[in-house]
Amino acid sequence: MTSATVSAKIPPALKRKLERYKIRVSEVVRVALEQEVSRAEERNLESRLEHISSQLSKKLRPNDIVLAVRASRRER
């Protein structure tokens, strides 16, 4: 697996604490970045779903949905 390098400037005191407590910075950063990307993807999907939902609500009437559900139940 190929990796990319990411760097960040931190205060010297924080660097000393990381070393003192033997905190694996790369692991912490990787997990934090994965979580942030996951949250961003969720926000993006939520936004897209809201857009699609608003578009569908303009085109579908509640009665259309009821008829579709009833038809799908008869197919079983």
Residue 62 has pLDDT above 90, yes or no: no
Domain count, the chain: 1
- Supply the pTM of this predicted model: 0.67
1-57 pLDDT tens trace = 799 999 999 999 999 999 999 999 999 999 999 999 999 999 999 999 999 988 887
- The most distant pair of C-alpha atoms in the chain lies apart, rounded to whole Å, by 69
Dihedral angle sign, alpha carbons of residues 29, 32, 34, 36: negative
Q: Is residue 1 part of a domain?
A: no
Query: Could you tell me what percent of the chain has a pLDDT over 70?
Result: 99
Q: Is residue 4 part of a domain?
A: no
What's the confidence (pLDDT) of residue 61? 81
What's the confidence (pLDDT) of residue 57? 79
Q: Residues 6 or more apart from 29 whose CB is under 8 A from it?
A: 6, 8
Copy the structure tokens of residue 16.
């000393």
Q: Is residue 69 part of a domain?
A: yes
**If you ran DSSP here, which 8-state letter would residue 56 be given?**
H
Q: Residues 6 or more apart from 25 whose CB is under 8 A from it?
A: 18
Q: Is residue 6 part of a domain?
A: no
Q: Is residue 5 part of a domain?
A: no
